[in-house]
Each structure stands twice: as structure tokens, then as C-alpha cells.
Chains A and B, each alone.
Chain A
């Protein structure tokens, strides 16, 4: 099958963030970037489908500045066959614009399946995959935690809050991938070496009008230091109160 996987380069989720001097972006000093976790699940799913279905092609795409090439190479070291970078000066925050750029590139690609991560760690927006499907008028399944492709059709389990929706759909289609579906393979050194020679094409990204900007970033109020609120069962009412009013999780 011809499968496209769109990936994003995001900061490592374990990082401690600081705000940059302009107040509208994070300070990138010392921050490690890598393929977004959900994108890596999508790459793994794409590779597994092609491994199971017989010979095919897995193409990875990313929108961003040249730094994303490292991420595309990582996908190729996992086994993707070739990569396309849609180049921008900086990583756009406008999900719809990113979707337009990708849709323009994917349109004539003849892909049977286009995969995305369900959302990315930095924006958590979950816009791009579904928007690409809407622009290309393809069926779209979001947040798939199980996916089977057979005979030109797909079936998936879509994650709802605490339940799963079982769906079937025709190909070609777009699927955004949730966690738990597959463990991304660790690239072997052999794969890393091979990836250096695989084709990586660069084109300018056709974003169209960029209408969403991050105009400011701030750190959330300090998480108050943990505290022992009491002893024994007597402390329970206080805990419940705190969970309701302070932590707002109840």
C-alpha cells in the first residue's frame, strides 16, 4: 500500500520550560526536540501495515524549518522509504494553515492511507489530520487505538471518553492515531545508517493565509509544594475539599 505519515517535531515532553525573551515563545536553550510521540505511533502503524500487506511505500512528511529534517531521518531510520519536508521559516501555530500545506502536497500522491498522530505534545490541538481529510474530502477516523486494513477497507476502534467506538470505512482514508496501538520500534544502527541515504525532498510549504499566532506564552502559576494535610481518616474531608476546590479534579 502507499501510505503517508505526517510527523511533527516537538520538544521532549519531560522538559522544564522557560519563556523566551520575546514572551511569545519558549526558550529553546537546552531543550531536546524529537518526533512527537503520537506521530511516532503513526509511523509505527504505517510501517506495520506495509510489513503485513506486502510490498508498499511509506512516505513521511513534515511542515517546518530545516530542523525537521532530523525528525524525517528518524522516521526513515525506523523504516520509512522517503521523506518530504514542506519548508517554513518557523513552526506555524495555525493548524489549519499546516493542514492546507500538507493537503496540497498529498493531493496528487495517490495514497491509500494517510496517518497522523491524534495530536501533538506542544499544541495538543488535534487539528491537522482531520482538517487535511476534510480538505481532501477523505473519510477520517480520529483517535484510533486499534486499526486493521484489509481488502481496501479499514476497521478501527476510536477512543471516546471511557469507551470505544468500532467503525468501518473505505480506503483511501485518513486516520489519526492514539496511544496504546503500537510501540514505536527502536531504530537499529543499520536503519540509522540506511536512512542517511534515503531521499529527502524539500519544497516550500503552501500555507496560505496564516491566521492564528501565539501572541504570548506564560508559565502557569506555581504548583504549590506538596504537603501532608493530615493524619488518618480524619484528614479525608479536607482532602476531598482540596480535590474539589483547589485541584478541581473532583
Chain B
């Protein structure tokens, strides 16, 4: 046997060497990207690997396909041990785990190998069924490589089959070689028992070699296939943008004063190495695209395509092509502007890819470097500069909603040497939009009725720049945000409550980047707290028996995990309410279409996103749509009106205010 072992060693070393060469090549390409420190919070990151990676929590969001994949994945993890054993034994034939595994564990180990080989074959069979017969929509489009997938599935099946056959033939050639724990292999052996021992031995060696070559071939195929995710995904999850409390889903900070002024990304080397690792880790599953509100309604954006393009361009760039670039040659402006920043794609991705990060960096390039953006956004930018609001309303109209309501101004309190307990940040929509003003007034009434010591900034309030930031105009954003922080700090503000999730997210999670640290609470959380503490005097009358579909705001829900507070608020304020959930709800909720600065843009392609969402909400049979965001309010309101629907759209604050004693 010595010759065979030497040959195998040669094969092993060649395969390993080739693989190492590719690893080095791909890592080299990846390091073309910008630096990014991702070694913070190693324990939390490791926990994510266990949760998202090993326990496959995100994959299992789709139960059936998820179980199929989890089986293959767990199978791989378990069978890796066996693979190691086989490869070592290829060089040192007497090697086996039996040499050092303690007695009770050995049969468990052996059973696990056999069992998972069978499970994986079953899963592969189902996978072929899905790809070739069931053909779910998300597995098509964006130039995805079916051939690649089918080939890999075949390889995996081959691996499992050769493994079992190799063991079975061994048992036939040398009965007693396998312990009872090898249940499946022994069953196959029984079926092949008629074979002569020599033939069986040869068959065994052949299967063994096939298996080993398949393993090494598979390994070396990875760098050329979308199945590279097999090698990179656990790392990808470890280094992912995870949502730490207080940093939830924030956009990347930017230093605009830096000498090497690069503003945003137009090509792969402007992205970070992590974005590029994302490219390697994408399996083209399409769950992101299937969840994307823009894609669902016919816009050119596909989050999968963004990442697949990143990888394709990186390969091109890595081999020296500087004639093209990611922007324009691969990803078009239309795709980038179609995004509503709802984070459905990021939420769905089983390997924790951040598609939104790439979109944001490219938007920054378009705006800051090239001033290329949809014409209709320019008035919003100009108005933000001039009026401190994305709409052309006069600053002096800002606190008009409060006329006659006895709402204290922060400046007045400060002049008397007093401080409120909380600052009510009204926001631009709440100040100027007629419908949103009703929410503002409702919430102010609730605060007053509960005796909360609050104040507003009044005319000193201006936009914190979030719309500009979402649209890529980091410069304008920083000017507005810094000024807001100055004002807030000047008054020593510590706690802020706001009825707009965009304001909530911006001031609570992104202001720390610029030195603004405040406790920011969304009004749904605030009201729920008050209700729970029985501080809200509610009417004893039963109230209207409404059937309410609550529409989750993306910036409250997916960005900040606030799903329950608005629902609880409705239930506590109106006990007779019937809450119904639309098909896509909570962290799967469909965006209203206004986020990512799209509120300021025209929707010219496909179906209107708000129409799609209103349809879904009304299909629940609800007579009322409840929202907790002024942008969602406008979108739902317009959507309902367009269908001449009789359903009313209300903010949860209005519901509560309507129930005040």
C-alpha cells in the first residue's frame, strides 16, 4: 500500500497547494478594499457565529428550504470530521479516530457519519426538486448560475454516495470492518453481499479514491463557484455588521476633512474588505431580492445583484482590469436610487451580508463626488440648506401647530432656569404636514394630560439632516446634524421623545458618531410605558370596535426591533380592538416606500410600493390601518385614497388621544 499512500500524499499536497494559491489570490483581492476594524466585541461576534451560522437561525426563516439547507450544512460540519479522518488515513493508513476516541463516543461518531450522509442525500434530492421542478422565483434572475448550483449539488451527492459505497464495499470485502453504528453502510453492504471479496475490495478502493478526489476537487472548485460561501460564510458572520444596541443599523461615519478626500465608492477598492468578503459569501439564494420592496414592485434594484456584481467586478479588478468600474459598468444609478433602505435584504441574508452598505457608499459617491442624483431631490437639498427642512416651508411656521395649546418652549424654560424632563422633538413632517400635525397635537395632548414636564424647540428646531444622509449627501447631513447637536447640548438636553422613527433612529443611533449622546425614545415606546404604569387617564367607555392592521415602520422595526410597543399601546388604549396581522409583518413587513429618501423622489417604474402594501393591509379585512411614522402615514393615506378605500389611516397617538378621559 505504500505506493498508494505516496501517490495520495502527492495528490493531497497538490490539491492543498492549489487551494492555498487560490486562497492567497482571493485574500489579496479582498485586501484591495479599505481597512475596517472588526475585531471589537469578539464574544458577541462569536455568539453570532453560533446563532446565525451554526444554528442556522436566518436560514430557517424559510422553514422547508431552511431545513433542507440546515441538513446539508450540519451534515457538512459533522462529516468534516470524517473527511479529516479519511484524508489522514490516505497518507497514514492505520489512522482512525478509533485510536483515541473514548469508547462511548466512537459509535456515536460513526453513526453520525452514516446518518448524516443519508440525510444529506435526502436533502440534495429535495434541492434538485426545488431547482428543477418547483422552481421558486427567487432562484432565477440576476444572471444566477443554475449550472453551478446543479453541479455542486451533484458533487455533494457524489460525496455522500461514494462515502457510503466505500464503507459498504469495505464491509463486503472484509466483513466486520464496520461496527453496528454504521447502520446505513451496513444495510448497503447487505445488498451487495453477493460480490466476491476481491472485487469488493477494488470497488472499495475506487470509491475511496473517488471520494477523496471529490473532496479535494470540491475544495478547489470553491474559489470558482458561488459555493465559496462554504469557506467564507462563518467568517462573514463573525465580521458582520451586527446590530449592537445603540449602534443599530447605522450608516458608516465619514471624515470629510481627511486629506485623501475620497467620497463614497465608485469601484471595489473604495469598498471595505468586509464588503468584498460579502461578495465572496453570497450564494445567490435571492432571499434578499425576494424581500426587496423595490424589486417586488418592478424596479431595477436587486440586492442580490448588487453583491454578485461586487464579486464579479472584484474578480475582474483583481486580475488587473482598471478600465471598468462597479458604478455604471455593473450597477446603474437607477438601481441605487430605487432603494428605500428598509433593510429587508439585510434581515433576510443567511450569511449576514450587508447589501445596504454598498448602496449607501455608492450613493455617497454619486452625490458628493459627481453631483449625480435624480433631479427632483435637488429642491430637497436646497431647501434643507436654506430652510432647515426638506420642504420649502418657512422656519417661522414650524411651531404653528402649537398655537393656543400652551406648549412650553425650551428657550423659555431655560430663561427661567428650568429644565423639562423630556424634549419633544417634533420633526419636519410633524411640524409642517397637515396630516402629521394631527399626530403631533395628539401626542402633545397625551403628554399634557399625563402631566409630563416637556418642552419643544419650536423655531430652533430644524432638520437633523437624516434625509440628506440617506440620500448620500454626507456633507449637508453633517452641517445640519452638528448644528442640531450644538443646540441640544447648549440646552443640556438629555432625553428626547419623538413621533418620527427617522428622527428617532438618527438622533438615538447615529448622533453618537458626531458627539451627540442622548436617550431617544420613540413615542410608541413612551406611550406604552405610560399606559403600563397606568399614568394615562383613559375613558371608561368601551370605545369603537376597530379592526386594526398595524403597519410596521422599517426604522422602528427592522432598524430598532420595536414591534411590540405600538401593538401593546393599541391594545391597552382600546381593549376592544381586534389586531390583525398582514401576511408580511414584523421583521418581514413590507416597507411603505418612503424611506431612503424616496419620499422626495418620483416613482416612475412598476407598481407603487405603497399600493402594494395597502393592498396587503386591506386584505386582512381591517377597517383601520395604524402607523407610528409620519412617512408611513402619508404613504398609507395616499395609497388608501388611490383605491377609494373606506379604511382610515391613523397614528397610534391619535388612537390613544381619542381615548383620553
- A, B assembled together: yes
Chain A interface (Cβ < 8 Å from any Cβ of B):
12, 14-16, 30, 32, 34, 183, 185-193
Q: Compute how far the CA of A16 lies from the CA of B459 in the bound complex, rounded to whole angstroms.
A: 12
Assess whether B370 is in contact with A186, with CB atoms less than 8 Å apart: no
Q: Compute how far the CA of A218 lies from the CA of B140 in the bound complex, rounded to whole angstroms.
A: 68
Assess whether A186 is in contact with B386, with CB atoms less than 8 Å apart: no
Is B620 positioned at the interface, with any CB of A under 8 Å from its CB? no
The residue from A12, A14, A32, A186 contacting B378, defined by CB atoms under 8 A apart: A186
Q: Looking across the interface, which residue of chain B has its beta carbon closest to that of A32?
A: B386
B451-475 CB mask vs A (1 if < 8 Å, else 0) is: 0000000000000000000000011
Residues on the A chain within 8 Å of B381, using CB: 186
Residues on the B chain within 8 Å of A32, using CB: 386-387
Residues on the B chain within 8 Å of A15, using CB: 394
Assess whether B382 is in contact with A186, with CB atoms less than 8 Å apart: yes
Is B392 positioned at the interface, with any CB of A under 8 Å from its CB? yes
Residues on the A chain within 8 Å of B382, using CB: 186
Assess whether A189 is in contact with B386, with CB atoms less than 8 Å apart: no
Assess whether A189 is in contact with B475, with CB atoms less than 8 Å apart: yes
> Can you list 26 A-B pairs with a CB-CB distance of less than 8 A?
A12-B386, A12-B387, A14-B387, A14-B393, A14-B394, A30-B395, A34-B386, A183-B378, A186-B371, A186-B373, A186-B381, A186-B382, A188-B367, A188-B369, A188-B370, A188-B371, A189-B256, A189-B261, A189-B263, A189-B474, A190-B261, A190-B263, A190-B370, A191-B371, A192-B475, A193-B261
Assess whether A189 is in contact with B369, with CB atoms less than 8 Å apart: yes
Interface residues of B in 212-268 (CB under 8 A from A): 256, 261, 263
Interface residues of B in 376-401 (CB under 8 A from A): 378, 381-382, 385-387, 392-396
Is B368 positioned at the interface, with any CB of A under 8 Å from its CB? yes
Classify the interface of chain B: helix, strand, loop or mixed.
helix
The residue from A12, A16, A189 contacting B368, defined by CB atoms under 8 A apart: A189
Is B646 positioned at the interface, with any CB of A under 8 Å from its CB? no
Q: Compute how far the CA of A186 lies from the CA of B475 in the bound complex, rounded to whole angstroms.
A: 13
Interface size class of B (residues with CB under 8 A): 20 to 34
Q: Compute how far the CA of A16 lies from the CA of B385 in the bound complex, rounded to whole angstroms.
A: 16
Assess whether B375 is in contact with A183, with CB atoms less than 8 Å apart: yes
Q: Looking across the interface, which residue of chain B has its beta carbon closest to that of A30?
A: B395
Q: Compute how far the CA of A187 lies from the CA of B369 in the bound complex, rounded to whole angstroms.
A: 9
Residues on the A chain within 8 Å of B393, using CB: 14
Q: Compute how far the CA of A190 lies from the CA of B385 in the bound complex, rounded to whole angstroms.
A: 17
Q: Whole-angstrom distance from the CB of A28 to the nearest CB of chain B?
A: 14
Residues on the B chain within 8 Å of A190, using CB: 261, 263, 368-370
> Given contacts A34-B386, A189-B256, A189-B263, is CB(A14)–CB(B371) below 8 Å?
no
Residues on the A chain within 8 Å of B367, using CB: 188-189
The residue from B261, B371, B394 contacting A16, defined by CB atoms under 8 A apart: B394
Q: Compute how far the CA of A186 lies from the CA of B367 in the bound complex, rounded to whole angstroms.
A: 9
Interface residues of B in 495-515 (CB under 8 A from A): none
Assess whether B371 is in contact with A187, with CB atoms less than 8 Å apart: yes
A-B contact sample (14 more), CB < 8 A, given A12-B386, A188-B369 = A14-B387, A14-B393, A30-B395, A32-B387, A34-B385, A183-B375, A186-B381, A187-B371, A188-B370, A189-B256, A189-B261, A189-B369, A190-B369, A192-B475
Residues on the B chain within 8 Å of A193, using CB: 261
Q: Compute how far the CA of A30 lies from the CA of B369 in the bound complex, rounded to whole angstroms.
A: 31
Residues on the A chain within 8 Å of B392, using CB: 14
Residues on the A chain within 8 Å of B368, using CB: 188-190
Residues on the B chain within 8 Å of A191, using CB: 371
Q: Looking across the interface, which residue of chain A has its beta carbon closest to that of B474?
A: A189
Q: Compute how far the CA of A21 lies from the CA of B393 in the bound complex, rounded to whole angstroms.
A: 26
Residues on the A chain within 8 Å of B261, using CB: 189-190, 193
Residues on the B chain within 8 Å of A192, using CB: 475
Residues on the A chain within 8 Å of B256, using CB: 189
Q: Compute how far the CA of A32 lies from the CA of B394 in the bound complex, rounded to whole angstroms.
A: 11
Residues on the A chain within 8 Å of B373, using CB: 186
Q: Looking across the interface, which residue of chain A has its beta carbon closest to that of B475?
A: A189
Q: Compute how far the CA of A32 lies from the CA of B388 in the bound complex, rounded to whole angstroms.
A: 10
Residues on the B chain within 8 Å of A185, using CB: 371
Q: Looking across the interface, which residue of chain A has its beta carbon closest to that of B373?
A: A186
Q: Compute how far the CA of A190 lies from the CA of B264 in the bound complex, rounded to whole angstroms.
A: 12
Q: What 7 pairs across the A-B complex have the smallest Cβ distances?
A: A188-B371, A189-B368, A16-B396, A12-B386, A189-B475, A14-B394, A186-B371
Q: Compute how far the CA of A228 lies from the CA of B371 in the bound complex, rounded to whole angstroms.
A: 45
Residue among A15, A187, A188, A193 with the most chain B CB within 10 A?
Answer: A188
Residues on the B chain within 8 Å of A186, using CB: 371, 373, 378, 381-382
Q: Compute how far the CA of A192 lies from the CA of B256 in the bound complex, rounded to whole angstroms.
A: 12
Q: Compute how far the CA of A119 lies from the CA of B367 in the bound complex, rounded to whole angstroms.
A: 30
Q: Compute how far the CA of A83 lies from the CA of B597 in the bound complex, rounded to whole angstroms.
A: 35
Q: Whole-angstrom distance from the CB of A78 to the nearest CB of chain B?
A: 9
Q: Compute how far the CA of A113 lies from the CA of B370 in the bound complex, rounded to whole angstroms.
A: 27
> Given contacts A186-B378, A190-B263, is CB(A14)–CB(B386) below 8 Å?
yes
Q: Looking across the interface, which residue of chain A has its beta carbon closest to that of B371?
A: A188
Q: Compute how far the CA of A191 lies from the CA of B475 in the bound complex, rounded to whole angstroms.
A: 12
Residues on the B chain within 8 Å of A189, using CB: 256, 261, 263, 367-369, 474-475
Q: Compute how far the CA of A30 lies from the CA of B388 in the bound complex, rounded to whole angstroms.
A: 12
Q: Compute how far the CA of A30 lies from the CA of B393 in the bound complex, rounded to whole angstroms.
A: 15
Q: Compute how far the CA of A188 lies from the CA of B263 in the bound complex, rounded to whole angstroms.
A: 10
Q: Whole-angstrom distance from the CB of A215 to the nearest CB of chain B?
A: 27
B469-496 CB mask vs A (1 if < 8 Å, else 0) is: 0000011000000000000000000000
Q: Looking across the interface, which residue of chain A has its beta carbon closest to that of B459?
A: A30
Q: Whole-angstrom distance from the CB of A247 to the nearest CB of chain B?
A: 22
Q: Whole-angstrom distance from the CB of B266 to the nearest CB of chain A?
A: 12
Q: Compute how far the CA of A188 lies from the CA of B378 in the bound complex, rounded to whole angstroms.
A: 12
Q: Whole-angstrom distance from the CB of B80 to the nearest CB of chain A?
A: 49
Q: Compute how far the CA of A191 lies from the CA of B385 in the bound complex, rounded to whole angstroms.
A: 17
Q: Whole-angstrom distance from the CB of B524 to the nearest CB of chain A?
A: 33
Residue among A30, A189, A190, A191 with the most chain B CB within 10 A?
Answer: A189
Q: Whole-angstrom distance from the CB of B47 to the nearest CB of chain A?
A: 39
